[in-house]
Amino acid sequence: MTNDATVSAASKRVRPHPSQNEALLFEISSPGKHAYKLPPLDVPAVDATALLGAAHREKSAELPELSEIEIIRHFTRLSTWNYAIDLGMYPLGSCTMKYNPRVNEYVARIEGLAEAHPYRPESLAQGVLEVVDLLQRCLLDITGMDAITLQPAAGAHGELTGILLVRAWHESNGNARSKVLIPDSAHGTNPATAAISGYTVENLKSNDEGGIDLEALARQVDEETAALMLTNPSTIGVFESQIEKIAEILHAKGALLYMDGANMNALVGKARPGDFGVDVMHLNLHKTFSTPHGGGGPGSGPVACKAFLEPFLPTPVLVRVEKSAKAPDAGPWEAEGEDPSSADGVAMFRAPSPPHSSTDKVESRNSRLTWEYNRPQSIGRVRAFYGNVGMFIRALAYILANGPDGLRQTTEDAVLNANYIRAKLEDIFELPYKTASMHEVVFSDKRQAALGVKTGDIAKRLIDYGFHPYTVSFPMIVHGALMIEPTES
Amino acid sequence: MRAIAKEVEETPELVKTAPHSTRVSRLDEVQAARKPILRWKKAEQE
């Protein structure tokens, strides 16, 4: 097949990119048009000037004036310019742009969950609290950690929470310590997190395989090291095979191991950070657990930790108490003896049976969940209310729909897909690190750059073929990086 | 990706000036970052 024919055939497989023009709403506005018609006033008119005083504006705001159909067409046209995971492959490395199954959306729209309000009395919110509790237990099972908070609203927010836990623990031991070690392959948010937590950042050079250089690590870790922030698998898609030794070196000096869980899609069901020495980590529900990225998600970055860090978790912490027990910080609605959740039909939603324990069902019948606020060592709140609960529901739906075997299969497929892409392209693009790939593969533009074409150019050409570009020029340890993460979907 | 790699060898300008199928091609990203226009203004106010 000729080159033109190849391109043509490839182009036919993908959608054409819509390219119609669209003016701003202000530019298509016409005075007097409106999208609604109010009925005549049937209450006494109010003098707005008298009511608002100085706050009453003299001129009306200059807002666009359009009919309803013009507004609908405008935003519908704009929406066709978006590229989305529902339109095609989105191989943005380190972002795990996987398909968001529709069952997640179905469950999140169940009335009792969709309408749950953070100010709803605890006694009337036991269903949604069971969802939160079950998700927490699933995530602890997946990570091998001991305690968790779901409060952080994104990955970087989770990092900040995690490093604040590290700091609080060191402070409780009499010295917050002064520095955090970060490999040169790390996400940029890692050094930002350490700096904003009051630590200086010390760079750790990668070895020839793209992993941690153990000798360099041993030289750099000292009694002033608070933690190492490590992404595993690393940003070049390589598993840190020396991870247990890394943890040993850190722990010997009283430093902790923080794991950036951005790449957890390569580990779920196969390896648990809690088993290989990690002390604290964050997860990205919007990556690994299929909640949306689009429009800001919203994201969700739970932080899981070992038991010794549990006292420092953000408040409030979800605890299970016996049904007769008064909540630790019961609100005024929690009158003694009153327990509306025990009445048939009051609880809005019952969580499905927990996946791993038959005794859990009995336990949830004889107990209730409550938020515990009285935690003197806590780092305090990191977010209003309890986190992005809508994302918890979607993530739990994903976990339960897949089950342990399904999640493991997902991981295997994600790794298989990345290696398929590697095998298909490694004769054409330079592969700087030959170590076995996990969930993503990173090439260099070395051969193409010699002809004057850089990674950014190739990424932009990929748009013409109907694909979202891969991650460009990251990680920094690869010159002209092409970072491709196909995910399992 | 293989087709693009071939284009790099045979018609590099095609790749260097991509994308060709979008409403706007290459944005001035530096200008956009340094002098972002985030608010609409009436023509006579500019």
Average pLDDT value for residue range A52-62: 90
Question: Considering only CB atoms, which chain A residues are within 8 Å of B10?
Answer: 3
pLDDT at A346 > cutoff 50:
no
What is the reported pLDDT for A153? 95
Residues 6+ apart with CB under 8 A from A167: A176, A197, A198, A199, A226
What the block records as the tokens of A485 is 């993460």
What is the reported pLDDT for A220? 97
Instruction: Please check whether residue A170 is in contact with residue A226, taking contact to mean a CB–CB distance below 8 angstroms.
Output: yes
Average pLDDT value for residue range A368-375: 96
CB contact under 8 A, B2 and A448: no
pLDDT-derived band at A361, boundaries 50, 70, 90: low
CB contact under 8 A, B3 and A3: yes
Residues 6+ apart with CB under 8 A from B43: none
Compute the nearest-CA separation of A198 from chain B (Å).
28
Interface check for A2 against chain B (CB to CB < 8 A): the answer is no
User: Rounded mean pLDDT of chain A?
Assistant: 89
CB contact under 8 A, B19 and A464: yes
Give the start-to-end residue ranges of the domains of chain B: 2-38
pLDDT-derived band at A245, boundaries 50, 70, 90: very high
pLDDT in tens, A109-120: 999 999 999 999
What is the reported pLDDT for A354? 43
For the four alpha carbons of B3, B6, B8 and B12, in that order, the dihedral sign comes to: negative
Question: Considering only CB atoms, which chain A residues are within 8 Å of B1?
Answer: 424-425, 428-429, 458, 462
Residues of B with CB under 8 A from a CB of A: 1-10, 12, 14-16, 18-23, 26, 40, 42
How much is the pTM? Answer: 0.85
pLDDT at A287 > cutoff 50:
yes
CATH class of A106-392: alpha beta
What is the reported pLDDT for A256? 98
pLDDT in tens, A187-242: 889 999 999 999 999 999 988 888 899 999 999 999 999 999 999 999 999 999 99
What the block records as the tokens of A392 is 């918890």
Interface check for A31 against chain B (CB to CB < 8 A): the answer is no
With b meaning 16 or more CB within 10 Å and e meaning fewer, what string describes A36-58? eeeeeeeeeeeeeeeeeeeeeee
pLDDT at A80 > cutoff 90:
no
What is the reported pLDDT for A342? 37
Q: What is the CA radius of gyration of chain A?
A: 26
Distances, alpha carbon A226 to alpha carbons A162, A190, A382, in Å: 12, 14, 21
Nearest CA in chain B to A421: B1
Average pLDDT value for residue range A129-156: 97
Give the start-end residues of each E strand in A137-255: 147-149, 179-183, 200-204, 225-231
DSSP A263: G
What is the reported pLDDT for A344? 35
pLDDT at A262 > cutoff 90:
yes
Instruction: Please check whether residue A285 is in contact with residue A158, taking contact to mean a CB–CB distance below 8 angstroms.
Output: no
Which of A86, A96, A103 has the alpha carbon at shortest distance from A394?
Answer: A103
What is the reported pLDDT for A324? 74
Higher pLDDT, A316 or A17: A316
> What whole-number distance in Å separates Cα of residue A126 and Cα of residue A347?
7
Distances, alpha carbon A333 to alpha carbons A123, A141, A364, B31, in Å: 8, 34, 21, 56
| Residues facing A483 on adjacent strands | A442, A471
Give the start-to-end residue ranges of the domains of chain A: 19-79, 106-392
User: Rounded mean pLDDT of chain B?
Assistant: 89
DSSP A312: G
CA-CA-CA-CA dihedral for A225, A226, A228, A229, to nearest 10: -140
Instruction: Please check whether residue A168 is in contact with residue A189, taking contact to mean a CB–CB distance below 8 angstroms.
Output: no
pLDDT at A362 > cutoff 70:
no
Complex ipTM value: 0.90
Parallel/antiparallel/unpaired status of strands A225-231 and A256-260: parallel
